[in-house]
Amino acid sequence: MITHLKSGHVYDPQNKIFNIKKDIYIEDGKIIDKKSIRSKIDKVINCADKIVMPGAIDLHTHIGGGKVNIARLMLEEFHNEADGNYDSSSIIAPSTIKTGLKYIEMGYTSCFEPALLPINARQAHAEMADIPFIDKGGYALLGNDDFFLSLLKNKASQSMINDYVAFILKATQSLGIKVVNPGGINAFKFNQRALNVDEKSKYYDITPREIVSKLTRAIYDLGVPHPLHVHCSNLGIPGNFLSTIETIKAANGLPIHLTHIQFQSYGNNGDRGFSSAAVEISNYLNKIENLTCDVGQIMFGQTVTMSGDSMSQHKNHKHAHPKKWMCMDIECDAGCGVVPFKYQDQSFVNALQWAIGLEIFLLAEDPWKVFLTTDHPNGAPFTSYPHLIKLLMDRSFRNDILNQLPEGILEHTILHTLKREYTLNEISIMTRAAPAQILGLKKKGNLSIGSDADITVYDKRKKDIEDMFAHPCYVLKDGHVVVENGRIKKYTWGKTHTVKPEYDKSIEKTLGKFFDKYHTMNLDNYIIKDDEMTRLVGNPIYVNDCKTKRKQ
């Protein structure tokens, strides 16, 4: 079956195509060359007056795993949003089905769960298997697990650490590695309540800096495309931009990705001891070549914060709204914390958080280095992306909201002085091509011949950019038209993206002994096998290439 997207205005940043009238042909889920067509074209979609982009990619969204399920359970009183098309689960903690529906309707075709606890990976994959339409994947959490920290404590060689990292990627079927509050989650289990970048944890005598250095190195050495995904120390604490900068330095110039950087760009100036450090952070971002980030924009309203960072979530529980929260220590692996929260536009702190996120977007010189996220659902549910895009593309819209915020905000933000308005070119980069590139997904985020036919078609005539991005005319997933004019046409099920760098298997012996002694599960049963992913978990995998293994 061949589908023809006829004369759309194509945005394909990876191929340096911006707003060019072009035809696209699709067969068997791939984009094909017109020249290779041998049979008749079955379906022609007229795309004149339409914008054609690769399907959008969300590289940081909490869509599966234990903490998401705790939130779903905890927030039952919000599960009253049934309206015929969707179940009643709330968008701040949606069911798997609703997650898939809402993403695909916005033209998102690949989404990545950033906090896959290795021990919880089987559950996270099983949950994600029940999300229809989209491709998915996860980043395994390391840096707080007792095995890794004992490796560091015992001065294990970098190559041994690399083997462990590669093993974890394989065992948990992950696409990358994330570290959350390096060492901090573990230190919290020993009753440490804060851990700065150069502070040593009491039990293991290790600093977050060492953890970040070793892990960024491991990922570089192994050739894993996605840089270390870092949720820095001191999340949400005024003045934390300094530790953010120190964390950047800890990578020693190797690639590093800082996630939800908005929560990490706080100063402590002013009479309230809370200020924006977006300028300082953006200077680094613009200057340092191997540094990327996603923003984690907040929006006003009820949401729920969920994080592996039990240390900071325990601190935040006082702000819980409604008044309930949960923290958990997990399996000598990591932790988690779920705290419902309501961002209020009349709160000085929340209003400034909103402004800081936008400042970071607007100060970033290179859209290939900054990604559009709300850290769903921590900053806001992912359904607010179209609104966020409008904030970036429309200065007067942005300023109207800014002017309604509490007095005094303007003294603390430079947002009103920023004239920049994002262009469609830039939006297409930061939501498609750039995330595909930073994740190493060669067949995604572009419309090259042979790439996956995950395509979103927007109506160019729509006056409101928010409306345009919220309601694409067509969404194609693997070549199937799954959404047409807001209606679901067909249910499809995506794949799970992984990487599998090579490693020295002797690490499994060492780890096996550790498991036998200290865990409550055998190493062999901990590993999620490829065929298990298909048969039991229900989520077939796609293995992405690693760069050639570097010499160590």
Partner 1 sequence: MKPLTLKLKQKITYRIDMSFLSDAYKYKSIKHFMSKKIIYGNQEFKVSELFSVTGNQLNNIVIKSAIPLMDNIGYKQQGIRMNVYGNIGYSFGKQMVSGSLVLHGNALDYAASGMKGGKIFIYGNAGDYFGAKPNAGNEGILDGFIYVKGNVGNDSFQRVRRGNIIIDGNIGNDACREMISGSILIKGSIGNSFGIDIKRGSIFIKDRKLTRDYTQSNDAEYNFIKFYLTQLKSILKKKIFLEKKKLKRYYGNKDKNNLSEIFLFTA
Partner 2 sequence: MANQNSTKNLVCPFCSLHCDDIQVKTNGKKYNVVENISCRKKIESYNINRHSNTYPLMKNKIISLSDAIKKIKDIVNSHKEILILNHGIELSGLRSILNFASQHNSIIDHINSKYLFQNIGVVQRTGYIATSLTETKNRADTIIVIGNKIFDKSPRLIDKVLLPKHSLCSNKNNRNVILIGNFPIKIQKEIKNRCKLTNIKIDLDLVPDLLKNLQKEKGKAIKGVSANTEIKLKNIISKSKYLVTTWAASDFMKNKKPEIIINSICGYIVNLNQTQRAACMPISGSLADVTSSQAMTWMTGFPSRIKHVSNSFKHDRESYDSENLISKKNVDLVLHISTISPDKIEINKKIKNIVIGHPNSTFTNQPDIFIPVGIPGIDYEGIMFRTDNVVSVALKDVRNISLPNSQSILDKLA
Residues forming contacts to partner 1 in the complex (CB under 8 A) are: 74-77, 322-324
Asked if 537 is part of the footprint of partner 2 (rule: CB under 8 A), the reply reads: yes
Angle at 133 between CA 173 and CA 477, to 5 degrees: 105
| 432 contact, one of partner 2, partner 1, none, CB 5-8 Å limit per kind | none
Question: Which of 117, 352, 388, 409: binder of partner 2 (CB under 8 A)?
Answer: 117
Q: Minimal distance in Å, beta carbon 122 to partner 1?
A: 27
Question: Which of 535, 545, 550, 552: binder of partner 2 (CB under 8 A)?
Answer: 535
Q: Minimal distance in Å, beta carbon 322 to partner 1?
A: 7
List beta partners, residue 111. 58, 136
List the structure tokens of 150: 């004992």
Residues 366 and 325: beta-carbon distance below 8 Å: no
Single out the residue of 77, 32, 79 nearest to residue 87, CA to CA.
Answer: 79
77/411 with CB nearer partner 1: 77
Q: Minimal distance in Å, beta carbon 90 to partner 1?
A: 11
Q: Minimal distance in Å, beta carbon 321 to partner 2?
A: 12
List the structure tokens of 217: 């190195």
Residues 277 and 252: beta-carbon distance below 8 Å: no
Q: Minimal distance in Å, beta carbon 313 to partner 1?
A: 19
Chain positions 38 to 97 lying near partner 2, rule: CB under 8 A, are 64, 66, 68-70, 72-74, 76, 79, 82, 84-90, 93-97
Asked if 319 is part of the footprint of partner 2 (rule: CB under 8 A), the reply reads: no
> Residue by residue, what is the 3-state secondary structure of 335-394?
EEEEEEEEECCCCHHHHHHHHHHHHHHHHCCCCCCEECCCCCCCCCCHHHHHHHHHHHHC
Residues 488 and 480: beta-carbon distance below 8 Å: no
Q: What is the rounded CA–CA span in Å between residue 89 and residue 381? A: 13
Stretch that binds partner 2, among 48-56, 135-143, 461-469, 531-539 (CB under 8 A): 531-539
Beta strand extents in 79-134 (DSSP E only): 108-116
Contacts with partner 2: how many residues (CB under 8 A)? 66
Question: Which of 242, 481, 536, 543: binder of partner 2 (CB under 8 A)?
Answer: 536
Residues 177 and 255: beta-carbon distance below 8 Å: no
296/340 with CB nearer partner 1: 340
| Site track for partner 2 across 144-183, x = CB under 8 A | --x-------------------------------------
Q: What is the rounded CA–CA span in Å between residue 433 and residue 139? A: 19
| 190 contact, one of partner 2, partner 1, none, CB 5-8 Å limit per kind | partner 2
Stretch that binds partner 2, among 21-29, 101-109, 358-366, 521-529 (CB under 8 A): 521-529
Question: Any residues with CB less than 8 A from the CB of 384 and at least 6 apart, and which?
Answer: 299, 374
Q: Which amino acid, 361?
A: F
Residues 443 and 109: beta-carbon distance below 8 Å: no
Question: Which of 120, 233, 244, 431: binder of partner 2 (CB under 8 A)?
Answer: 120
User: Burial letters for 83-101: b for 16+ Cβ neighbours within 10 Å, e otherwise?
Assistant: eeebeebbbbbbbbbbbbb
Q: Which amino acid, 182?
A: P
What's the first-to-final CA gap in the chain, in angstroms? Answer: 48
Q: Using CB under 8 A as the criterion, which residues of the chain lie in contact with partner 2 when the complex forms? A: 64, 66, 68-70, 72-74, 76, 79, 82, 84-90, 93-97, 117, 119-120, 122-123, 126-127, 130, 146, 188-191, 203, 314, 317, 320, 323-333, 338, 517-522, 524-525, 528, 532, 535-538
